[in-house]
Structure 1
């Protein structure tokens, strides 16, 4: 056990360099340095995030039409009316819920 505490150089499992213990992140559970150095861990995390972003972006879907960027006046009018209808339905539903809650409280 004493040899683990005295050893200050560790080999990175990725780049195979021998580095001091402060070049590694420490595992909270074991208290020992991880297998990869900080630089290799950062680059692996960046690659993973980029790959994850690519999978989240779906190109097979049509882009949602934005009212303000629509040039066609007829399409813009339809989009505005649809948005108004959605908002009115939402307000009506919220009012109904509020009335139900008030009647429950009165009882």
Structure 2
């Protein structure tokens, strides 16, 4: 900590320039200066959010059929029945687990 208190400049991890401490954000939680200068941090954040925004719609694809997007009525009925079976099995499993926990408490 003494090194930070006595320091007047800091090296940026991105651009490798030695800059005064006021060119860096201060992390109050960790009680230290950021690794990157304010300009580099802003650029990294801009790139990060741009990538996140670009991939948001790409990740929306699903590998399973979506009931509401299925045109064939027979296929849709089959999907609905399967979904109901899965939900029913899940509810039964949850009830069984709750009964077991109640039996353990008694």
User: How many matched pairs?
Assistant: 97
Corresponding residue of 2:15:
14
Q: Quick one: distance in 1 between partners of 2:84 and 2:7?
A: 70
Gap runs ≥5 in structure 2: none
Alignment CA distance shift 1:34-1:62 (3 Å) = closer
Corresponding residue of 1:78:
78
Gap runs ≥5 in structure 1: none
Mark the structure with the bigger radius of gyration.
Answer: 1
Considering only aligned residues, what root-mean-square deviation do their CA atoms show, in Å? 3.9
Q: Secondary structure at the match of 1:104?
A: helix
Structure 1 stretches of 4+ with a deviation exceeding 6 A read: none
C-alpha displacement of 1:99? 1.8
What TM-score do the two structures reach when normalised by structure 1? 0.59
